[in-house]
A and B are shown apart, each in its own frame.
Chain A
Amino acid sequence: MAIFGLWIINKAGGLVYQRNFAEGLAPLTSNEYLVLAGTLHGIHAITSRISPAAGSSSGAQVIEGETFKMTIMLTATGTKFVLLTSLAETTADVILQKVYEAYSDAVMKNPFHTPEMPIRSEGFETRVTTVIGIGQS
């Protein structure tokens, strides 16, 4: 049971927020994170169109590997919240919902935040810390 990291991807596929919470992730440069986020954005766009069932699909929600799980939450505005957790973690959906709440409060209502730009808001950091816990960096 561990939460490794949180990403927030804007509707254009840019990584606007990234924070690690536990050891275990390979150390990446910020550029590599941007590339990963962009790739995930593309994959997500594809998965939302290949659904065999009729009607629109929300796209990939969980991507699982042998050692980790990636839970993706797509909001109505196209922003994606991604949580990297261990396989056993069961609270990912709840946490993402709470992070979304914190995002709407501390980011969207903050006059000093420019939409679609990287999030640098102290209030949001604090809220995320209370939801998930103290991370590194």
Chain B
Amino acid sequence: MSIGYVPPPPSRFSVLSTSSISSDHFSPTNSSPRFSLASAPSINSTLVGSSKPSQPRQSIYDRPINKTRTAEVSLSAFSFLFSEMIQYTQKRVSGINDLERRLNALGYRVGLRVLELLAWRSESASKAPKRETRFLPALMFVHTQVWRAVFAKQADAIEKSVENPDEYMIVDNDPPLERHISVPRDMSTLSCSSFAAGIVEAVLDGLNFPARVTSHATPTAQYPHRVTILIKLEQEVLAREEVLK
């Protein structure tokens, strides 16, 4: 401790002394030596710390982009983040529809990147990477690959609407996004998986299947958090599918 105390860093010392003089003359005089005493060991320790051969902290940009096994994120940590995202959004909207739209927009930004990343990964992983041009394989890609990359599991079902030929659904029985969320009764129509719907919308958009994607809570007795992601395709997609047949 005495070693660190003998050569006091001049700049720091002067800053300390001038500030204490300018702020108040009448403070007890023992306060300034106590200050330097307290700061001396900390300076010492930082010097020792920096002299050690320490490894540089790996940032997310240094990690290999293709390795997925160790790149998982804690669900707890994400749940807190997602919770804050919802609270933040909720403060800035009027009504449930607006909230869902905003969550969708947030998810859209994630989805764009997910598609980019998956394209990159498939490029390096397989010899003949391909891009889906038909809708059903694209939907399977969302159901399997995208879900596995984002939620570490597959979605549970794909359904086609009986009434409307332009509507498809992805069902998740236990979406990790909503595992810790209990929607209050007065907002029962809200589905926080609008975020996931945004991801789906972005992926489909990126694959050139423009669609409107919404999320709806469809709880069952067995799966209280079950959600259905409803995909309503634009007419041009159906027309193109017709041509490609």
Contact = CB atoms under 8 A, between A and B. Distances in A.
Nearest to B80: A109
Q: Chain A interface: which size bin? A: 10 to 19
B182 A122 contact: yes
B90 A111 contact: yes
A110 interface: yes
In terms of DSSP, what is the predominant structure of the interface of chain B? helix
A65 to B, nearest CB: 35
Nearest to B76: A109
Nearest to B87: A111
Interface string B173-193: 000000011111001000010
Contacts of A124: 182
Interface of A: 105-106, 108-112, 120-124, 126
Interface in B162-204: 180-184, 187, 192
Interface residues of B, number: 18
B84 interface: yes
B39 interface: no
Nearest to A119: B182
Interface of B: 76, 79-80, 82-87, 90, 180-184, 187, 192, 224
Nearest to B81: A109
A112 B183 contact: yes
A112 B90 CA distance: 10
7 contacts: A109-B76, A109-B79, A109-B83, A109-B180, A110-B182, A111-B85, A111-B192
A107 to B, nearest CB: 9
A133 B204 CA distance: 45
A120 B90 contact: no
A110 B180 contact: yes
